[in-house]
């Protein structure tokens, strides 16, 4: 078999290393060839990665607080005539946890971490690589993107150079740096295993970088860097086996998204997301063939919500959105993420294909409250739904359960906050109005089809 020059050089290097006395260790060079090492880059960027330790209290019920978990079941309480309120009043339980963070702005003392790292924290301590402990305050936190910004006293801090996550490709080498299991400044390496991953946290904004660089508990909020020492992601989540450890599937938030969220938190104190007002579908090969398209990418518009920014801009069902603000749109999740990183009132340039011809439109991003059917309401749709506050879900995805009163008929039926009702008696539901209409036509019991996170379930109502 003929070897490439690179493989030949590698073979020579490996052969030379093997010939070195094991007691002498690996030499810094073999002949004139320097051995590759990530050490110089790691030394340069490590001071920008910090340990984030938190303390606080959380409300707790049930078994963990020493109470019978059966008392949490509303049907059990009704059967045994138990007092309302489940297994008793919630108890405050102290906790402490640790994660990681990255210094984005050394001059101002701004550190980016995950929102879940500092959730419920009343005290946050940041430990630098040189051993200094600094008290941190929360500037802002955004649960949907899982990004939070902390501030510490500036002075002799080192910030991380920022890369451009839009240029990442599957197969790029990356390094994860953080504090897994309390082991400070642990470095692991791997590659980018996938891009634009979703379905990890359906309630959030998902555009994850997947990597096989080992990420474990405590790595959350740490850095994913390229071989140039540039930050390209904030480590956020893992898929793990029964043991809870790393199995080679980790996820990081792209640095471009993290930077955008940080800018809004610093400027406004929150991220107020806007709405374009379209339902979309992937441009699959069969659809591309049917529409005579050469490129199998983009977001096919299947519905335009009346009165939305898209409707006012002239976007129509059947259009294929290909670009937002000159950034290519490859799929509906990418379109959703791009729009949700914009604020209400932003002007956005939309490039699309209509009947195979390119068009360019401008939309003014709208406030979701102005597009939906007004404020959330508690309509008398069905007696079993009493106690539930229901409104339109974004983008015509169904009827969103925004709140469920404790011990109400809706709670006892099994509905939960953030459930999305997508069907009634096998008829699809795209809005609160449709939920009211479908339920009004039912002559007997209702069977709700509900989407809860990544799970679909049926809830019978009597």
146 is an active site residue: yes
Is 140 within 8 Å of 157 (Cβ atoms)? no
Rounded to the nearest integer, the mean pLDDT of the chain is 78
| Domain 373-461, CATH homologous superfamily name and number | PDZ domain (2.30.42.10)
27-43 burial, b if ≥16 CB within 10 A, otherwise e?
Answer: eeebeeeeeeeeeebbe
Domains 46-151 and 373-461 share a fold: no
Annotated domain spans of the chain: 46-151, 165-256, 278-369, 373-461
What is the CATH number that goes with domain 46-151? 2.40.10.10
Which residue in 97, 100, 145, 146 is the catalytic one? 146
**Token pair for 104:** 């984005």
Please tell me the distance from the alpha carbon of residue 414 to that of residue 429, in angstroms, as a whole number.
19
CB atoms within 10 A of CB 382: 22
And the tokens for 33? 């060839």
Q: What is the reported pLDDT for 155? A: 84
CA torsion angle 424 427 431 433 (round to 10): -80
* The pLDDT of residue 173 is above 90: yes
* pLDDT-based confidence at residue 361 (cuts at 50, 70, 90): very high
| CA–CA separation, 337 and 7 (whole Å) | 41
Which listed residue (220, 236, 308, 431) is catalytic?
Answer: 220
Give 147's strand partners.
142
Whether the CB-CB separation of 278 and 310 falls below 8 Å is answered with yes
Residue 219 in contact with residue 236, Cβ under 8 Å? no
Would you identify the CATH topology of the domain 278-369?
Answer: Pdz3 Domain (2.30.42)
pTM of the model: 0.61
In CATH terms, the fold of domain 165-256 is Thrombin, subunit H (2.40.10)
**176-230 per-position pLDDT tens digit:** 998 877 777 888 889 999 887 776 665 567 788 889 888 877 788 889 999 999 9
**Which of 252, 187, 254, 223 is closest to 40 using CA atoms?**
187
Q: Are 368 and 307 in contact (CB under 8 A)?
A: no
Contact 301, 320 (CB under 8 A): yes
Other residues' Cβ atoms within 10 Å of the Cβ of residue 75: 10
Cα 109 from Cα 113, distance rounded (Å): 13
What mean pLDDT comes out for the span 36-59?
87
Residue of 116, 141, 142, 382 marked active site? 116
Q: Is 116 one of the annotated active-site residues of the chain?
A: yes
Q: Over 80: is that where the pLDDT of 121 sits?
A: yes
Token representation of residue 378: 């508690």
Please tell me the distance from the alpha carbon of residue 403 to that of residue 387, in angstroms, as a whole number: 8
pLDDT band at 102 (very low <50, low <70, confident <90, very high): very high
Of 356, 365, 362, 296, give the one whose Cα is nearest residue 329. 296
Rounded CA-CA distance 70/74 in Å is 9
Give me the pLDDT at residue 15, please. Answer: 47
Our measurement of the distance from residue 333's CA atom to the centroid of its chain's CA atoms, rounded to an integer in Å, reads 12
């Amino acid at each position: 078999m003929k070897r490439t020059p690179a493989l030949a050089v590698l073979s020579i290097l490996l052969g030379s290393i093997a010939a070195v006395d094991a007691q002498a260790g690996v030499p810094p060079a073999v002949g004139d060839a320097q051995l590759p090492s990530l050490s110089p880059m790691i030394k340069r960027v490590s001071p920008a990665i910090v340990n984030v330790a938190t303390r606080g209290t959380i409300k707790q019920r049930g078994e963990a607080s020493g109470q019978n978990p059966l008392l949490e079941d509303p049907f059990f309480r009704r059967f045994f005539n138990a007092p309302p309120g489940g297994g008793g009043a919630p108890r405050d339980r102290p906790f402490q946890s640790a994660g990681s963070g990255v210094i984005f702005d050394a001059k101002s003392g701004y550190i980016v971490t995950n929102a879940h790292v500092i959730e419920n924290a009343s005290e946050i301590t940041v430990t630098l690589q040189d051993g200094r402990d600094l008290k941190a305050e929360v500037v802002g936190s955004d649960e949907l993107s899982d990004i939070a910004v902390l501030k510490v006293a500036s002075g002799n801090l080192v910030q991380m150079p920022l890369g451009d996550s839009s240029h990442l490709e599957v197969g790029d080498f990356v390094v994860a740096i953080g504090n897994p299991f309390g082991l400070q400044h642990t470095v692991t390496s791997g590659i980018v295993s996938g891009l634009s991953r979703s379905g990890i946290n359906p309630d959030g904004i998902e555009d994850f970088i997947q990597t096989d660089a080992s990420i474990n508990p405590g790595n959350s909020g740490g850095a994913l860097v390229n071989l140039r020492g540039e930050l390209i992601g904030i480590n956020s989540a893992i898929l793990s086996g029964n043991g809870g450890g790393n199995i080679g599937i980790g996820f990081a938030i792209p640095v471009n998204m993290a930077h955008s969220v940080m800018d809004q938190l610093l400027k406004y104190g929150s991220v107020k997301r806007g709405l374009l007002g379209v339902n979309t579908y992937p441009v699959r090969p069969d659809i591309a063939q049917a529409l005579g398209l050469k490129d199998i990418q983009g977001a096919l518009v299947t519905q335009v919500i009346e009165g939305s920014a898209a409707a006012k801009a002239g976007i129509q069902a059947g259009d294929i959105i290909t670009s937002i603000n000159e950034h290519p749109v490859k799929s509906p999740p990418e379109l959703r993420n791009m729009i949700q990183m914009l604020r209400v009132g932003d002007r956005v340039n939309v490039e699309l294909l209509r009947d195979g011809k390119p068009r360019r439109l401008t939309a003014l991003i709208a406030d979701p409250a102005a597009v939906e059917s007004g404020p959330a309401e508690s309509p008398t749709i069905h007696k079993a739904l009493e106690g539930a506050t229901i409104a339109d879900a974004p983008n015509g995805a169904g009827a969103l359960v925004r709140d469920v009163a404790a011990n109400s008929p809706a709670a006892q039926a099994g509905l939960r906050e953030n459930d999305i009702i997508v069907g009634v008696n096998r008829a699809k539901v795209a809005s609160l109005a449709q939920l009211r209409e479908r339920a009004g036509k039912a002559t007997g019991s209702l069977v709700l089809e509900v989407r809860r996170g990544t799970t679909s379930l049926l809830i019978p109502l009597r």
